[in-house]
Amino acid sequence: MDEKISTDGPIFVTQPFLPPLEEFVPYLDEIWKKKILTNGGPFHQQLERALCDYLGVGHIALFANGTLALVTALQSLRITGEVITTPYSFVATSHSLLWNGIKPVFVDIDPDTLNIDPGKIEAAITPQTTAVLPVHCYGRPCDTEAIQKIADSYNLRVIYDAAHAFGVTEDGRSVLNHGDLSVLSFHATKVFNTFEGGAIVCPDAKTKQRIDHLKNFGFVSEVSVAAPGINGKMSEFGAALGLLQLRYIDAVLDRRREIDAIYREDLRDVEGIRCIDTAGRGKSNYAYFPILVEREFGMSRDDLYGNLQKAGIYARRYFYPLISDFPMYRGLPSAHHENLPVARDTAAKILCLPIYPDLRPDQIRRVVNTIRNS
């Protein structure tokens, strides 16, 4: 777990934004007063409404974490067989498929966006393919138009892993409105967090109702269970923290944007360091600051990673290794190295630098100077 840094202490890749403790106390008092700790309490309901308004979406179902939300999203659409996805993501993306007895089929990524390459999807479709599970990597929107066109042609579902995409828009519209469902993560290291948490963005009230049943063991009434559901509910504590976080989210995003701009300017003339565009055609949330360490830098990514660690700067190699390289996946035909050249090349070069609202200018300089002097 990333921790708070001291004045001259270590710098971690990301840290959770925590509002002043005294502002959380009234929420705790209200929870104690009402004695409702979970099961869709008042704060849970308030947060769902507030997030719909803030994100510009119609319906949201809150979850205890993003992984349970992914597992349930697949369940809610009754996805089976094979699902086409990216090897360049956090393992929860493909783990959610295995937990549902679904076979992941990996295709390569686009070298500019680092998202799933729509041009590779069609060739991977088989009679067993039922859906596509793309990821808005680093919050950069996928090519949703191209993906939807393929899905419509082959009658496939599209579920977006939008764990990085809180508040991201493209052409003035929330990216969360694309596909059949979008899944968010509110983990402590995310732009918006509830310590642990997640959500599914639903297109209509009927879909949300089915998801709400599935995340509560399948109960539809006190004495009726309609489906083999799971316990995925967010607690009142998490929902209360989310409501408090929403008060500060615009300031948090503004500060992340400032840090992003400083990095880009300060690294602009460093040969062999490529700063990745995480915005595309819309509004970014600056969730990560990924760079690619190219050959011209004169040092490998891993050597630079080691130098940063020695300086007390704990960057992360998001995402290395590829999901397809882990033991439970590497035997799949789609996981073969020759099938994923861009993803493999990217995984060998990627490094995410520290970015979070409390990161100070002197700490940013420390990161940049360590890179320059490596």
pTM: 0.96
Q: Do residue 200 and residue 71 come from a single domain?
A: yes
CA distance 98 to 255: 38
CA distance 352 to 355: 9
- Quick check: is 6 in a domain? no
In this prediction, residue 6 carries a pLDDT of 36
In this prediction, residue 280 carries a pLDDT of 86
Q: Do residue 315 and residue 366 come from a single domain?
A: yes
- Quick check: is 11 in a domain? no
The amino acid present at 51, given as its one-letter code, is L
Identify the CA nearest to 116 among candidates 79, 152, 147.
Answer: 147
Half-sphere exposure of 27 (CA within 13 A, CB side): 24
Number of structural domains in the chain: 2
Instruction: Supply the angle between the helices 21-34 and 236-267 in degrees, to the nearest 10.
Output: 160
> pLDDT tens across 129-188, in order?
999 999 999 999 999 999 999 999 999 999 999 999 999 999 999 999 999 999 999 999
Report which DSSP code applies to 273: E
Q: Do residue 77 and residue 123 come from a single domain?
A: yes
Q: Do residue 203 and residue 316 come from a single domain?
A: no
Q: Is it true that the peptide bond before 289 is cis, omega within 30 degrees of 0?
A: no
CATH code of the domain covering residue 194: 3.40.640.10
- Quick check: is 10 in a domain? no
Identify the CA nearest to 160 among candidates 150, 146, 138, 175.
Answer: 175
> pLDDT tens across 342-354, in order?
999 999 999 999 9
- Quick check: is 150 in a domain? yes
Examine the fold and report which residue of 210, 244, 278 is the final residue of a domain before the chain moves on. 244
DSSP string, 280-328: TTEE-----EEEEE-GGGSS-HHHHHHHHHHTTEE-B-TT-S-GGGSTT
**Within a 10 A sphere around the Cβ of 106, how many other Cβ atoms?**
26
- Quick check: is 168 in a domain? yes
Examine the fold and report which residue of 186, 221, 244 is the final residue of a domain before the chain moves on. 244
Question: What's the distance, CA 190 to chain centroid?
Answer: 8
CA distance 265 to 271: 13
**Within a 10 A sphere around the Cβ of 218, how many other Cβ atoms?**
16
Q: Do residue 44 and residue 150 come from a single domain?
A: yes
Domain of 282, in residue numbers? 249-372
pLDDT band at 2 (very low <50, low <70, confident <90, very high): very low
Q: Do residue 218 and residue 149 come from a single domain?
A: yes
> pLDDT tens across 83-93, in order?
999 999 999 99
CA distance 33 to 39: 16
Q: Do residue 163 and residue 299 come from a single domain?
A: no
Task: Please classify residue 281 by burial: count the beta carbons closer than 10 Å to its beta carbon, then call 0-12 exposed, 13-18 middle and 19+ buried.
Answer: exposed
The amino acid present at 118, given as its one-letter code, is P
CATH code of the domain covering residue 309: 3.90.1150.10
Q: Do residue 62 and residue 184 come from a single domain?
A: yes
Choice among 3-7, 139-143, 289-293, 325-329 with the minimum mean pLDDT: 3-7
CA distance 57 to 201: 7
- Quick check: is 32 in a domain? yes
Q: Do residue 295 and residue 355 come from a single domain?
A: yes
